[in-house]
Amino acid sequence: MKSIALGLSLLAALTALHATAAPAQPNLVIIFIDDLGYADIGPFGATKQRTPNLDRMAREGMKLTSFYAAPVCSVSRAQLLTGCYGARVSVPGVYFPGQANGLNPAEFTIAERLKERGYATMCIGKWHVGDQPEFLPTRQGFDRYFGIPYSNDMQRKSTQTGERVVPLLRDDKVAELLTDEQQSRIVERYTDEATGFIRANKDKPFLLYLPHTAVHTPIWPGEKFRGKSANGRFGDWVEEVDWSVGRVLDTLRELKLAERTLVVFTSDNGPWLIKGADGGSALPLRGGKGSTWEGGVRVPTIAWWPGKIAPGSVCDAVAGTIDLLPTAVALAGGTVPAQPVIDGRDLSPLLFGKTKESQREAHYYFAGYNIQAVRQGPWKLAIAAQPRSMGQNTDPDASGNAPRLYNLDQEIGEQTNLAAKHPEVVAKLQSLAAKMTAEIGGKEPAARRPPGVVENPKTLYPTEDGAPRGKQAKQAAKTDAKTPAKAASLDSLKPGDALDSAHAPQVSGKPFTITLTVETKQRDAILLAHGGLAVGYALHLKAGRVAFLVRTGTDAAFTEIIAPSDFTGSAAITATLAADGSMALKIGDEPAVTGKTGKLLARQPQEDFCLGHDNGMPVAAYTGKGAFQGSIKGLKITTR
């Protein structure tokens, strides 16, 4: 009998020891909002839109007030998925539909690391790290996928429906084609999928990655939320996102999963400031989306895990999306291998209140492959020019490469340059930036891994490739899809039309001249635009005068020259970018105005060529917001 009792006691002790050594693996839910600014939810200062569920989440969890993403969509998602800066995995910026590049399937994602630990995995929402089959979620560690695979403004004209649409995928197949208005149910549909996945996997550990399409433009809140906020349709959509968060958390509570589930709510980048009322707010931070100012990359973040994370706690230590993968692996009982190298670190000591110190030596602010700033503790050193936001120019105090040092604890708004007072801090941070540049930045990095590349890429659904998209009749779309459009073909375009990049004038590394005749009574309007944050050019009316602007490469501020006299309602316009980077703008018989951007466009703009509008990421912040009213004739773009 004693031996039996001893055996039972030993078994009980071993069982208890095993339970102590190997606690149940927690679930992980990552709610990733698109273009949500630092001040766009209640816990971070919003007052015009109500976010009661996020308010409660913050009261029950932790606010992370120095949590970083990246300046723009695709690189931000790659960083979360891989635990690496985008420069390390060759994801520098934004991908477009039908593009050959994407997140290399050889990279290990958070989903793949957790699948190794027995997790069920699902991605619901905006994927945006490549839309070719090889790059989709089900090839990158996710069991299931449901969502729009890129930004909701990347519509293409379907040959099937004749409408500009985005695809809604189920796993790796197009399930539906959505018009803009049909996006008004997307938050509701994502939420239904999310709660369904939680219920289906309540008895096993799971990863739910929920990157919402909201609140990226175009703004389409659900019918029940329209007109409910005090901040227009943008605020309405934020309130719907808050409702979605509430449903996810309520489902976890109902199923008694809250005490074994870490939920992280955050954003992919700062607000798109040039969108005005359809953008958001990063105050009191400086800058917005597309920049490496705090307002472009520091995002509102809440971590929630009842019984594990102290309620009402606040963490101001530097952390970011690159830390989520190693945190998840550690909580699941694993260890991230030493190879391939990642940049993130386990955040659990911060989340559980065991330390207040950042788990990384420094944080690096990349724009494309170039480091624009580095932060260590309270100190942030900017080492390159920093545009205010996507589509906006660079302020005089942020131009050039002279070091600018800010103490973010003393002044979160980055206004006072302390470089002259703290040369030792400047030197230390410059050394860190140089070391990281040598490793993964610049043109000759030692440890950058290759991008994902496929041959013969195509869009996920048949589109009118090469056809002007908009008001022009279909018979104008008989261009060979393998041949770039010639300048002469532009003459038939009408305001509101667009050409995809492959069929637009090919201006990469080439001098070019734009000629056209414009008639309009408008004082502010977009005449033509081709490009975005990285490279591009545009002609527009600005306070009654014609302006020609050129953006020559990633990180470059645009150069703009403006006619000295008011536009009289009708005139021939000639704009030139010469081989030496000099610019000229001539209106009718007036003398030309000149300027110099210094070089030609570094690559072909990937955005659409647009006449009378700009349907994507704008080249700059235009003063004209509505549709062009008038006529544009005789359009030609010649290259040499």
Q: What are the tens digits of pLDDT across the range 534-544?
A: 789 999 999 89
Q: Which of 334, 359, 384 is the last residue of a domain?
A: 359
Q: Are residues 354 and 499 in the same domain?
A: no
Residue 19 confidence (pLDDT) = 40
Is residue 606 one of the residues assigned to a domain? yes
Q: Which two tokens stand for residue 196?
A: 């369904």
Active-site residue 128, yes or no?
A: yes
314 domain residue, yes or no: yes
Catalytic residue flag (residue 610): no
Inside any domain, residue 487: yes
pTM confidence score: 0.78
Segment 110-142, tens digit of pLDDT: 999 999 999 999 999 999 999 999 999 999 999
Q: Which residue has the tokens 């001249």?
A: 513
pLDDT of res. 533:
67
Collapsed DSSP state (helix, strand, coil) of residue 439: helix
Instruction: Say how far residue 565 (Cα) sits from the centre of its chain.
Output: 39
Alpha-carbon distance of 623 to 601, in angstroms, equals: 24
Amino acid identity at 635: L
Mark whether 345 and 491 lie in a shared domain. no
The tokens of 614 are what?
Answer: 């700009």
E strand or H helix at 193, and its extent? helix 186-200
Distance CA 533, CA 68 (A): 20
User: What span, in angstroms and rounded, lies between the C-alpha atoms of 548 and 620?
Assistant: 11
For residue 181, count other CB atoms closer than 10 A to its CB.
9
Domain of residue 253, residue span: 23-359
Q: Is 245 within 8 Å of 31 (Cβ atoms)?
A: yes
Quick count: other Cβ atoms within 10 Å of Cβ 152? Answer: 20
For residue 407, give both structure tokens: 């103490």
Report residue 297 as tokens.
Answer: 């990359």
Which of 359, 379, 395 is the last residue before a domain boundary?
359
Check if the beta carbon of residue 110 is closer than 8 Å to that of residue 32: no
Q: Tell me: do 485 and 634 sit in the same domain.
A: yes
Sort strands 120-124 and 144-147 into parallel, antiparallel or unpaired. Answer: parallel
Q: Is residue 336 part of a domain?
A: yes
What pLDDT score does 331 carry?
Answer: 97
* pLDDT reported for residue 2: 33
Contacts (Cβ under 8 Å, ≥6 apart) of 239: 49, 50, 51, 221, 225, 228, 229
Q: Which of 128, 212, 530, 540 is catalytic?
A: 128
Residues in the chain predicted with pLDDT less than 70, given as ranges, are 1-23, 465-489, 533, 553-557, 616-617, 625
pLDDT in tens, 150-172: 999 999 999 989 999 999 999 99
| Residue 305: C-alpha distances to residues 53, 69, 245, 634, 635 (Å) | 15, 21, 14, 63, 59
Q: Are 208 and 198 in contact (CB under 8 A)?
A: yes
> How many domains is the chain partitioned into structurally?
2
- The number of beta carbons lying within 10 Å of the beta carbon of residue 62 is 24
* The token pair that represents 221 in the structure block: 């809140």
- 203-222: b (≥16 Cβ within 10 Å) or e: eebbbbbbbbbbbbbebbbb
> What is residue 165's predicted lDDT score, i.e. its pLDDT?
95
402 located within any domain: no
- The candidate with the shortest Cα–Cα distance to 300, out of 265, 325, 334, is 265
Q: Which of 359, 380, 398 is the last residue of a domain?
A: 359
Residues in the chain: 640
Per the domain annotation, does 118 fall within a domain?
Answer: yes
CATH number, position 591: 2.60.120.200
In a domain, 579, yes or no: yes
The pLDDT of residue 478 is: 33
The enclosing domain of 339 has a CATH number of: 3.40.720.10
CA atoms within 13 A on the CB side of 136: 23
| Residue 521 resides in a domain | yes
Amino acid making up residue 115: K
